[in-house]
């Protein structure tokens, strides 16, 4: 329950930043400043999360650089610049209650995080705070409309996107999209206690090594998110025409900023909706992508079993490939050695940069599940390790969509042809040539299926299949028939 009246004012509050790393339009910070006479701010490098990560992780570097900017922003907003971010390295379940007691905070403010492990962590924090007589208030911030805000007329969660989208658009009134200002009450930001005044820990102090973000030209922090959004607004009207072509600058590239909350989803939706209402087809399509994001999070909230199992239970009966051969096929997929250039170029992109174009995410997921017969959960876990913008709900939703096991997923008999996808969405081979330079000298028609190229073209390009570039690990037509047989166990259930 969230206090809103002046009678519930606290003398001292603590804002716990998590996946909301900005000092503008930030729900927990806004409400804390509204309800508290003084407000401290903290972030925890949670060892329960960090200990499971590789020592070179682009996300940790992105997070760390964004925190440096957040700390500076809070300082600039606070009286005499004495505020800032208190950064702790340890278990969040321990660190948050401990700091709240140390500061004499009567309440902790944070934003919702609906991932299962986060809910368990928050329950532990809430219990410990309650034992000390301290309140714990959480707010909507990561989503535009969340949890049970968009329900069917019978009060149940939607499982089909289009009616959900229509209901979302009816529900997304100006109040839902309104900015939650911080600056008018920023004078309530408390000075950081002397014993807590220290810089954001370096990567080395956290036990990590640089991941080369600067070389990837991935802008961090709120300034990075705002710069990307400003650039995208010059292209948003063309989004519908450009979004499916990986060699074209079509996407917003804001997914990692949405993941870490370095830009407000309300700002994005408010702007896109306004442009759409003014007649921009591109803005309307992009707004639909933001709504898909909310859709997958409400699925996770109402159907948490999707973390481990298929949304549609019948699909758990599918028998996937197993054993050494399956492991070899999976390794070839991970390494970009399938012999299908668009698939391999896409895997090179994610491995080198931590990013993958959305069209290619669908292509490689379909290939893993429906050409190689590998359990979608293997691919989901690999993406979870590699993607800078990894969000459990969106990643799970995307993989279950590709495997046909999710809500409103593609039909089980729809199987992307990696060659025709390549010809359609990378017609000039620019994307393939960028990430597979060993194929660059091939004529464009041969680039999409090198095994079908004329021997003279292969020779002129210096390519021997199996040496400079692998032969296909499977035949697509044969794999398609095998997949249809594999999915026969659910045919009647989805008919």
What CA–CA distance (Å, rounded) separates 355 from 334? 14
Beta strands in 92-223 (DSSP E): 107-111, 135-139
Q: Is 292 a catalytic residue?
A: yes
DSSP letters for 330-359? HHHHHHT-SS-HHHHHHHHHHHHHS---HH
In this structure, how many other beta carbons lie within 10 angstroms of the beta carbon of residue 120?
A: 12
What CA–CA distance (Å, rounded) separates 221 from 109? 21
DSSP 367: I
Catalytic residue among 320, 321, 417, 451: 320
Catalytic residue among 16, 286, 378, 399: 399
Q: Is 168 a catalytic residue?
A: no
What CA–CA distance (Å, rounded) separates 12 from 38? 5
Q: Give the closest residue to 361 by CA, choosing from 331, 394, 393.
A: 394
Catalytic residue among 292, 333, 378, 401: 292
Q: Is 399 a catalytic residue?
A: yes
Rounded to 10°, the helix 161-171/281-302 angle is 100
What CA–CA distance (Å, rounded) separates 291 from 273? 11
Catalytic residue among 289, 321, 351, 451: 289
What CA–CA distance (Å, rounded) separates 374 from 397? 17
DSSP letters for 433-462? HHH-GGGTTS-HHHHT-GGGS-HHHHHHTT
Q: Is 376 a catalytic residue?
A: yes
Catalytic residue among 168, 286, 376, 378: 376
What CA–CA distance (Å, rounded) separates 353 from 216? 7
Catalytic center residues: 289, 292, 320, 358, 376, 399
């Amino acid at each position: 329950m969230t206090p809103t009246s002046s009678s519930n004012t606290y003398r001292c509050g603590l804002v716990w930043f998590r996946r909301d790393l900005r000092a503008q339009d930030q729900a927990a910070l806004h409400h804390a400043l509204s309800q508290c006479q003084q407000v401290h701010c903290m972030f925890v490098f949670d060892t329960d999360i960090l200990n499971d990560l590789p020592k070179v992780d682009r996300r940790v570097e992105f997070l760390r650089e964004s925190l440096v900017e957040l700390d500076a922003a809070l300082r600039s907003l606070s009286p005499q610049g004495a505020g800032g971010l208190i950064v702790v390295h340890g278990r969040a379940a321990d660190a948050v209650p401990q700091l709240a007691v140390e500061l004499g905070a009567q309440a902790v403010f944070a934003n919702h995080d609906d991932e299962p492990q986060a809910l368990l962590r928050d329950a532990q924090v809430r219990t410990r705070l309650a034992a000390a007589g301290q309140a714990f208030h959480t707010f909507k911030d990561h989503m535009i409309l969340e949890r049970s805000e968009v329900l069917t007329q019978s009060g149940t969660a939607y499982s089909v996107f289009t009616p959900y989208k229509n209901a979302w658009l009816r529900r997304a009134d100006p109040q839902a999209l309104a900015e939650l200002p911080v600056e008018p009450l920023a004078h309530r930001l408390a000075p950081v206690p002397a014993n807590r005044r220290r810089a954001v820990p370096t990567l080395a102090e956290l036990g990590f090594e640089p991941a080369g973000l600067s070389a990837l030209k991935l802008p961090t922090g709120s300034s990075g998110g705002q710069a990307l959004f400003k650039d995208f607004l010059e292209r948003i009207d063309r989004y519908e025409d450009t979004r499916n072509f990986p060699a074209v600058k079509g996407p917003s590239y804001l997914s990692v900023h949405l993941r870490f909350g370095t830009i407000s989803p309300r700002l994005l939706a408010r702007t896109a909706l306004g442009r759409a209402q003014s007649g921009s087809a591109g803005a309307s399509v992009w707004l639909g992508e933001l709504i898909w994001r909310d859709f997958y999070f409400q699925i996770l909230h109402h159907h948490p079993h999707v973390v481990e199992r298929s949304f549609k239970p019948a699909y758990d009966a599918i028998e996937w490939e197993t054993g050494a051969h399956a492991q070899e096929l999976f390794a070839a997929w991970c390494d970009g050695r399938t012999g299908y250039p668009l698939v391999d170029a896409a895997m090179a992109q994610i491995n080198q940069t931590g990013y993958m174009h959305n069209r290619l995410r669908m292509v490689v997921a379909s290939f893993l599940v429906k050409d190689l017969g590998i359990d979608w959960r293997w691919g989901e876990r690999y993406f979870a390790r590699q993607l800078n913008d990894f969000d459990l709900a969106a990643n799970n939703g995307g993989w279950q969509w590709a495997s046909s096991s999710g809500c409103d997923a593609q039909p089980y008999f729809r199987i992307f042809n990696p060659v025709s996808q390549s010809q359609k969405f990378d017609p000039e081979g620019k994307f393939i040539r960028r990430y597979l330079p060993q194929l660059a000298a091939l004529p464009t028609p041969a680039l999409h299926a090198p095994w079908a190229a004329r021997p003279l073209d292969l020779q002129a390009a210096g390519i021997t299949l199996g040496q400079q570039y692998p032969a296909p690990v499977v035949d697509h037509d044969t794999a398609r028939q095998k997949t249809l047989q594999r999915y026969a166990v659910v045919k009647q259930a989805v008919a």
